[in-house]
Amino acid sequence: MSQPAPLPDAPTALDERSGAAPAQPREQPLAQPLERSLEAGGYSFVVVASRLPVDRAEGPDGETEWRASPGGLVAALEPIVREAGGAWVGWPGDAGDAPEPFDSSGMHLVGVGLSAAEVRDFYEGFCNATLWPLYHDVIAPPQFRRPWWDAYVRVNRRFAQAAAAQAAPGATVWVHDYQLQLVPGMLRALRADVRIGFFNHIPFPGYEIFAQLPWRRQIVTGLLGADLLGFQRQGDTANFLRACRRAAGLTTRGSRVRVPDSVPAVADHPGPARHQWESDGGGSREVRAAAFPISIDSASYEALASRDDVRARAREIREALGQPSLVLLGVDRLDYTKGILHRLTAYGEVLDEGRLGVPEAVLVLVASPSRERVEQYRLLRDEVEVTVGRINGKHAELGNPPVHYLHQSYPREEMAALYLAADVMLVTSLRDGMNLVAKEYVACRADETGALVLSEFTGAADELSGAFLVNPHDIEGLKDTIVRAAAVSPAEARRRMRSMRRRVREHDVAYWAASFLRALEKSPEQAPAPAR
Ligand code: F6P
């Protein structure tokens, strides 16, 4: 196959990121006090996310270059921040000092620097070796290390301070994802005048799993600094409300949590003992939690997939694959949550049993590099590559391997061409907050052909009822579903695809953002602005 050219930038919903380059350590003391700041910035809308919408990289002559980092979260938020003329607080994606704030495409970008030690302890450690596996149903064992937690507190404080410095009096601040769960509480302690929203892009685990976290109470009370908490699915919301009751001893009513003023908002502040929270007789606030399933800019994918060059590229891809009658496609970050090995096992057995075979069928497996310095990711890569080698070794004919494995990242155009070239899209996540790749595939299939095999453990499964839903742990079921999807009649494919396309078109990313921000505006209370 003539392989698509690798992309320097991050792709579509994959949001591929590389490890960080070493730089001078620059630590701040953990016990640095969080004093209430009366200084306000000039932005009435501020987004706080672990990464900026652009990544800092080294250009060919060693100079600093800023490259667009499209990713799901970035693609979702960029138009909203731009339209509001807002500020975006985030990490530039490498180790080193923060750049000076700068303006780009109508946004004010404010970098938060991480030292090499913080990249290791905060990003690779607490975010991606503690929280990520814990929140994804302990598919990999989470590691609980106290220095990692200390780094998490310290870095969250830095983000909160940067956001506080940008927000105008009474501003709306929207904080994103599991990397920044302490920011709402820390920000409230600094700036009680701002309205704070938080959206969790990944699942929120059941309490029996969440309870393993030694810092569960601090995480819950940190999140409760927000006025509105958004989750992908109803189930995530219910899990969070249960954690409020069990880990923090708080009272919930429907989707609301009552938070007494005595509950410490700042993770390393001791606060009163838990049993005193409810009995202190002081004031309280109400925080709302609800599901807001995230989506994609479906119109832009549809437009991309209708371009002549993209359609020509899709034809070229099929040709390069040897004009098979069936192209199966998998597109993920190389992550153990994505069920890549389950997919390969099922496909390998389908080939073993002769239910599909080369040269008629091929699987294109795009697994983009991700978090490559975290051990579990390195182990997974080895296992995937051994498995692909084994399947190809057993079933390939000269020039016709059954698996085309691409450990690379691609631009949106190439992804749209791959989506157009694929008869069956395989999304087999063992746990996934949403899975935007499933929605991208649907958005590109304007002619209503193609089939989506979709794990029921994705947020997307709640919305895309036209998919062939599957439990990826059930290898026999997965095999049958792949074969069934491959043989779907054109009429049934059209019926399924039409309903999915309607959903993705009507509930696009603009709908997601607008519904969250509308609900935030109506959230229970707005504290008075600070005296100036
Ligand atoms: O979906 C969770 C998430 O952390 C997103 O915020 C990000 O787009 C993606 O995974 C990739 O993560 P990382 O920033 O670790 O590369």
SS3 per residue for 152-176: HHHHHHHHHHHHHHHEEEEEEEEEE
For residues 14 and 74, give the distance between their C-alpha atoms in angstroms, rounded to a whole number: 11
For residues 94 and 21, give the distance between their C-alpha atoms in angstroms, rounded to a whole number: 6
Task: Please state the atom number of ligand 1 nearest to the C-alpha of residue 17.
Answer: 16
Task: Please state the atom number of ligand 1 nearest to the C-alpha of residue 123.
Answer: 15
Entry field: residues in the chain: 532
Residue 286 has a CB neighbour count (10 Å cut-off) of 14
Top mutation candidate among 9, 12, 14, 15 for ligand 1, by most atoms within 8 Å of CB? 15
In the prediction, which pLDDT does 395 show? 98
- The sign of the torsion formed by the CA atoms of 200, 333, 10, 52 equals positive
Treating both helix axes as pointing N-terminal to C-terminal, what angle do 412-421 and 436-444 enclose, rounded to 10 degrees? 70
What is the per-residue pLDDT across 398-453, written as a single tens digit (0 to 9) for each?
999 999 999 999 999 999 999 999 999 999 999 999 999 999 999 999 999 999 99
The ligand 1 site (C-beta within 6 Å) comprises 15, 17, 50-51, 71-73, 177, 201-202, 370-371
Q: State mean pLDDT over 68-97.
A: 86
Top mutation candidate among 51, 78, 439 for ligand 1, by most atoms within 8 Å of CB? 51
pLDDT-derived band at 36 (thresholds 50, 70, 90) equals very low
Buried b (16+ CB within 10 A) or exposed e, 234-257: eebbbbbbbbbebbbebebeebbb
Separation in Å, CA 243 to CA 168, 173, 177, 291: 32, 24, 17, 16
In the prediction, which pLDDT does 59 show? 84
Q: State mean pLDDT over 333-357.
A: 98
Q: State mean pLDDT over 506-527.
A: 87
Q: Over 80: is that where the pLDDT of 323 sits?
A: yes
Top mutation candidate among 119, 179, 201 for ligand 1, by most atoms within 8 Å of CB? 201
Peptide bond into 472 cis (omega under 30): no
The amino acid present at 33, given as its one-letter code, is P
Q: State mean pLDDT over 207-219.
A: 98
Per the model's pLDDT, the better-predicted residue between 384 and 68 turns out to be: 384
Least confident of 179-183, 418-422, 521-525: 521-525
In the prediction, which pLDDT does 525 show? 55
Q: State mean pLDDT over 200-213.
A: 98
Task: Please state the atom number of ligand 1 nearest to the C-alpha of residue 74.
Answer: 8
Cβ–Cβ under 8 Å, residues 232 and 200? yes
The amino acid present at 224, given as its one-letter code, is L
Least confident of 250-264, 273-287, 376-390: 273-287
Q: State mean pLDDT over 245-265.
A: 93
What is the per-residue pLDDT across 41-82, written as a single tens digit (0 to 9) for each?
899 999 999 999 988 888 888 888 888 765 667 877 888 899
Q: Over 60: is that where the pLDDT of 14 sits?
A: no
Rounded to the nearest whole angstrom, what is the distance from the C-alpha of residue 72 to the centroid of ligand 1? 8
Rounded to the nearest whole angstrom, what is the distance from the C-alpha of residue 518 to the centroid of ligand 1? 25
Q: Over 50: is that where the pLDDT of 485 sits?
A: yes
Q: Over 80: is that where the pLDDT of 527 sits?
A: no
Structure tokens at 19: 């490890």
Rounded to the nearest whole angstrom, what is the distance from the C-alpha of residue 132 to the centroid of ligand 1? 10
In the prediction, which pLDDT does 2 show? 31
Rounded to the nearest whole angstrom, what is the distance from the C-alpha of residue 49 to the centroid of ligand 1? 10
Q: State mean pLDDT over 348-359.
A: 98
Task: Please state the atom number of ligand 1 nearest to the C-alpha of residue 128.
Answer: 15
Q: Over 80: is that where the pLDDT of 4 sits?
A: no
What is the per-residue pLDDT across 226-254, written as a single tens digit (0 to 9) for each?
999 999 999 999 999 999 999 999 999 99
Q: State mean pLDDT over 145-150.
A: 98
Buried b (16+ CB within 10 A) or exposed e, 487-520: ebeeeebbebbeebbebbeebbbbebbeebbebb
In the prediction, which pLDDT does 270 show? 54
In the prediction, which pLDDT does 365 show? 98
Cβ–Cβ under 8 Å, residues 183 and 156? yes
Task: Please state the atom number of ligand 1 nearest to the C-alpha of residue 179.
Answer: 4
**Percent above pLDDT 90 for the chain:** 80
What is the per-residue pLDDT across 272-318, written as a single tens digit (0 to 9) for each?
555 555 555 678 999 999 999 999 999 999 999 999 999 999 999 99
Residue whose Cα lies nearest atom 9 of ligand 1: it is 15
For residues 205 and 173, give the distance between their C-alpha atoms in angstroms, rounded to a whole number: 25
Residue whose Cα lies nearest atom 7 of ligand 1: it is 15
Top mutation candidate among 9, 48, 69, 73 for ligand 1, by most atoms within 8 Å of CB? 73
Residue whose Cα lies nearest atom 10 of ligand 1: it is 15
In the prediction, which pLDDT does 267 show? 63
CA–chain centroid gap for 365, Å, is 20
Rounded to the nearest whole angstrom, what is the distance from the C-alpha of residue 460 to the centroid of ligand 1? 17
For residues 76 and 109, give the distance between their C-alpha atoms in angstroms, rounded to a whole number: 16
Rounded to the nearest whole angstrom, what is the distance from the C-alpha of residue 15 to the centroid of ligand 1? 6
Mean pLDDT of the residues in the chain: 89
In the prediction, which pLDDT does 74 show? 83
Rounded to the nearest whole angstrom, what is the distance from the C-alpha of residue 231 to the centroid of ligand 1? 15
Per the model's pLDDT, the better-predicted residue between 93 and 121 turns out to be: 121
Residue whose Cα lies nearest atom 14 of ligand 1: it is 17
- The sign of the torsion formed by the CA atoms of 334, 336, 338, 343 equals positive
